[in-house]
A and B are shown apart, each in its own frame.
Chain A
């Protein structure tokens, strides 16, 4: 059970699925209004445009 929980956490973190929740929680804690998920993800993927990651052989 613990291993499964870890796996779920790991996959969500690795793929960035969990990024929005973390962002929204952090915003809520500071009392601000976070972006919608759609807007947030769009901005996040557009930022990748400016800094391409190399993939090795």
Chain B
């Protein structure tokens, strides 16, 4: 592109983005189209990718395409394998994006659409995408080592051990909260429960088909699988009206048992049988649905009904989650803006498959921008709903009661209106018995998606189909994460325990495999069980913990990145990861502090514990608890949650303190401290760095 043309194009992009931001930020009381949100996001992403990501890759990290990557040097055709950048982008995106960016923004819509939009876009540009790309780069320079290994080798054994425990604990909370989202979406919904249950036989069939009948024909198998899946959704409607409805009308408690048992089997069965085919299904559905939704948003151009900034952002006593805008919006929206979990993937399989160092920009930064865009669409889907409906779905059951009348009255007390008739009609439109207190974000998102999609494809008659389609695809993502997460957790446990007692570390030793799998499923199963039985609402209590955990993991990753920049003599560029780190630490530690020490029992876990324990001692029952047993549940849960919040924070502080020592040593030392980088080897591979090959790279 000629220089003049480039300047013209980028100026136009900047102006379009700025206008969109202006409309979003300045509109009050008038109707704003969701298209402005899409425009603001895409304009900002384009500029960040073109300028900031390039600056980081070239100037800060100094990517060098003459240097052979681990994929080239260690190519074994299995895990190390140079892979086309566009294909790897697909793999990486499928691994990082799941239900997280769909759920967090829906909950954060309680604060209005503006805070969430700003955090998702600014956060991803300056923090989330930077973390993903930088960790990918450092792992790439270290033969694809994992985050934990890098912390141990580059910071020290204490930091390494703390990071390892933090990763494991965070994974458990993450799985529990995601599973809770599924339970809340499927409870008392025979249609949803049936279609999700059907994914198990479908996956088993696909696994068998791929293994025995047609080895390696993944596309063909996935097409069959997706067709069966759509049939299962349509079949759910029939099951709901048939005699089978009772069998699939499950209580949250039953669903927990089902999920725990399922998680155990998914972890011990061979990968080909359940996990691999599920993964294919989930990826196809993911890409397809996100594409459809993007088309839907642009074509339907729905109007945002949510306020730009709600009162709850200022008072901090919103019903969906407690706490003020700072820090809790930044905790609630983790995936889509800054997700520490991605550091595990950026230091997992992806760095072992990259052809060229410069491709980290497309894969690391670009992949995360794409996830952020998914989060923006989720925020749109939640913000096109009537606020009254939104709160009737997302406030805890304890507040709303179980009837349309009680919910309508409770919503009115919150300052919004929805009539009991409208609530019943909204449930009937998606053919669910009730949509009151369907917390967890998934049902709300599904209603939003059904509204957008029905406007484009099929009309009102298709609302119920689109609703269950959305529930199905969210549940599918989450179950894939639960499968994979349980397996990864089990591996970590086996690996760690193997240092103490050899046999348990052996992947092929069945009793060890069963025992460690059981430990992992029971660990997340415990929190899941506590969540569904919590009178205060599991999502309300646990989601902040999940956000804090995820962002604390980001703090570990950004600490490592900043330490490595300083160790490699790039102090002047250390702000690139240092500033997001400072922000992230400020947010997460404030949130942890409030969750542990705040005197308001709605926010502080121990204040909550004290309140309920005192009442319990006096034999009183405090609403929303309805019995002394429920009072005991609250006391136990708030104790466990408070201890956990404190533990996470302490672990991360240990890593940061250990890293600070290393940084000071690096700054004082005359000689640069040794890095554990793999040696330089000249590359013989030729591959383009960007999405499109330039004429230069084509000819070479």
Interface residues of A (CB under 8 A from B): 10-17, 19-20, 23, 37-38, 40-42, 44-57
Q: Is there contact, CB below 8 Å, between B98 and A46?
A: no
Checking A13, A37, A42, A52 against B484 with a beta-carbon cut-off of 8 angstroms, the contacting residue is A52
Specify which chain B residues have a CB less than 8 angstroms from the CB of A23 in the assembled complex.
77
Asked if B339 is at the interface (CB within 8 A of a chain A CB), the reply is yes
Smallest beta-carbon distance A20→chain B, Å? 5
Checking A12, A15, A42, A51 against B215 with a beta-carbon cut-off of 8 angstroms, the contacting residue is A42
Q: Do A55 and B216 form a contact, CB below 8 Å, given A10-B86, A46-B272?
A: no
Which residue of B is nearest A39, CB measured? B215
Q: Is there contact, CB below 8 Å, between A42 and B211?
A: yes
Query: How many Å lie between the Cα of A56 and that of B480 in the bound state?
Result: 9
**Total B residues in contact with A, Cβ cutoff 8 Å:** 50
Q: Do A52 and B219 form a contact, CB below 8 Å, given A10-B86, A14-B91?
A: no
Q: Is there contact, CB below 8 Å, between A54 and B86?
A: no
Smallest beta-carbon distance B556→chain A, Å? 15
Asked if B95 is at the interface (CB within 8 A of a chain A CB), the reply is yes
Q: List 30 A-B contacts (CB under 8 A).
A: A10-B86, A15-B218, A17-B219, A23-B77, A37-B215, A40-B215, A45-B210, A45-B211, A45-B271, A46-B271, A47-B79, A51-B349, A53-B348, A53-B488, A54-B95, A54-B344, A54-B485, A55-B95, A55-B98, A56-B96, A56-B98, A56-B335, A56-B341, A56-B344, A56-B345, A57-B178, A57-B334, A57-B335, A57-B339, A57-B550
Which residue of A is nearest B217, CB measured? A17
Q: Is there contact, CB below 8 Å, between B174 and A57?
A: yes
Q: Is there contact, CB below 8 Å, between B87 and A47?
A: no
Q: Do A56 and B488 form a contact, CB below 8 Å, given A37-B216, A42-B211?
A: no
Q: Is there contact, CB below 8 Å, between A52 and B339?
A: no
Specify which chain A residues have a CB less than 8 angstroms from the CB of B222 in the assembled complex.
15
Smallest beta-carbon distance B318→chain A, Å? 22
Interface residues of B in 659-699 (CB under 8 A from A): none
Please name 4 further chain A to chain B contacts, defined as beta carbons within 8 Å, in addition to the given A50-B507, A53-B488, sorted by A numbering. A10-B86, A42-B215, A48-B276, A56-B341
Interface residues of B in 196-224 (CB under 8 A from A): 210-211, 215-219, 222
Query: How many Å lie between the Cα of A16 and that of B488 in the bound state?
Result: 22
Q: Is there contact, CB below 8 Å, between A47 and B78?
A: yes
Bitwise, B210-249 to A at CB < 8 A (1) or not (0) is: 1100011111001000000000000000000000000000
Q: Is there contact, CB below 8 Å, between B349 and A53?
A: yes
Checking A14, A16, A46, A56 against B216 with a beta-carbon cut-off of 8 angstroms, the contacting residue is A16
Which 5 A-B pairs give the minimum distances between C-beta atoms? Answer: A57-B100, A15-B218, A41-B215, A55-B484, A41-B216
Which residue of A is nearest B215, CB measured? A41
Checking A13, A51, A52, A54 against B87 with a beta-carbon cut-off of 8 angstroms, the contacting residue is A13
Q: Is there contact, CB below 8 Å, between B484 and A53?
A: yes
Smallest beta-carbon distance A35→chain B, Å? 11
Query: How many Å lie between the Cα of A20 and that of B348 in the bound state?
Result: 24
Specify which chain A residues have a CB less than 8 angstroms from the CB of B356 in the assembled complex.
none
Smallest beta-carbon distance B446→chain A, Å? 18
Query: How many Å lie between the Cα of A17 and that of B220 in the bound state?
Result: 9
Specify which chain B residues have a CB less than 8 angstroms from the CB of A11 in the assembled complex.
219
Query: How many Å lie between the Cα of A16 and that of B349 in the bound state?
Result: 15
Q: Is there contact, CB below 8 Å, between A49 and B485?
A: no
Interface residues of B in 504-522 (CB under 8 A from A): 507
Smallest beta-carbon distance A3→chain B, Å? 13
Specify which chain B residues have a CB less than 8 angstroms from the CB of A52 in the assembled complex.
271, 484, 487-488, 491
Q: Do A17 and B481 form a contact, CB below 8 Å, given A42-B211, A55-B95, A56-B96?
A: no
Smallest beta-carbon distance B488→chain A, Å? 5
Q: Do A53 and B335 form a contact, CB below 8 Å, given A10-B86, A13-B87, A40-B216?
A: no
Specify which chain A residues have a CB less than 8 angstroms from the CB of B217 in the assembled complex.
17
Which residue of B is nearest A51, CB measured? B79
Which residue of B is nearest A14, CB measured? B90
Interface residues of B in 469-520 (CB under 8 A from A): 480-481, 483-485, 487-488, 491, 507
Interface residues of B in 75-125 (CB under 8 A from A): 77-79, 84, 86-87, 90-91, 95-101
Query: How many Å lie between the Cα of A10 and that of B97 in the bound state?
Result: 19
Which residue of B is nearest A50, CB measured? B507
Smallest beta-carbon distance B341→chain A, Å? 5
Specify which chain A residues have a CB less than 8 angstroms from the CB of B178 in the assembled complex.
57
Query: How many Å lie between the Cα of A14 and that of B550 in the bound state?
Result: 28
Q: Is there contact, CB below 8 Å, between A12 and B550?
A: no
Asked if B270 is at the interface (CB within 8 A of a chain A CB), the reply is yes
Query: How many Å lie between the Cα of A16 and that of B342 in the bound state?
Result: 23
Q: Do A48 and B87 form a contact, CB below 8 Å, given A56-B335, A56-B345?
A: no
Query: How many Å lie between the Cα of A15 and that of B222 in the bound state?
Result: 9
Q: Is there contact, CB below 8 Å, between B485 and A38?
A: no
Specify which chain A residues have a CB less than 8 angstroms from the CB of B491 in the assembled complex.
52
Q: Is there contact, CB below 8 Å, between B216 and A53?
A: no
Smallest beta-carbon distance A36→chain B, Å? 9
Asked if B312 is at the interface (CB within 8 A of a chain A CB), the reply is no
Which residue of A is nearest B178, CB measured? A57
Which residue of A is nearest B342, CB measured? A56
Query: How many Å lie between the Cα of A38 and that of B97 in the bound state?
Result: 31
Specify which chain B residues have a CB less than 8 angstroms from the CB of A17 in the assembled complex.
216-219
Asked if B280 is at the interface (CB within 8 A of a chain A CB), the reply is yes
Q: Is there contact, CB below 8 Å, between A53 and B95?
A: yes
Q: Is there contact, CB below 8 Å, between A49 and B270?
A: yes
Q: Is there contact, CB below 8 Å, between B481 and A45?
A: no
Query: How many Å lie between the Cα of A23 and that of B296 in the bound state?
Result: 41
Which residue of A is nearest B171, CB measured? A54
Smallest beta-carbon distance A7→chain B, Å? 11
Smallest beta-carbon distance A28→chain B, Å? 15
Specify which chain A residues have a CB less than 8 angstroms from the CB of B344 in the assembled complex.
54, 56
Q: Is there contact, CB below 8 Å, between A54 and B345?
A: yes
Query: How many Å lie between the Cα of A18 and that of B98 in the bound state?
Result: 26
Q: Is there contact, CB below 8 Å, between A56 and B481?
A: yes
Specify which chain A residues have a CB less than 8 angstroms from the CB of B211 in the assembled complex.
41-42, 45
Query: How many Å lie between the Cα of A37 and that of B210 in the bound state?
Result: 11
Specify which chain A residues have a CB less than 8 angstroms from the CB of B348 in the assembled complex.
53-54
Q: Is there contact, CB below 8 Å, between B507 and A54?
A: no
Smallest beta-carbon distance B72→chain A, Å? 15
Specify which chain B residues have a CB less than 8 angstroms from the CB of A40 in the assembled complex.
215-216
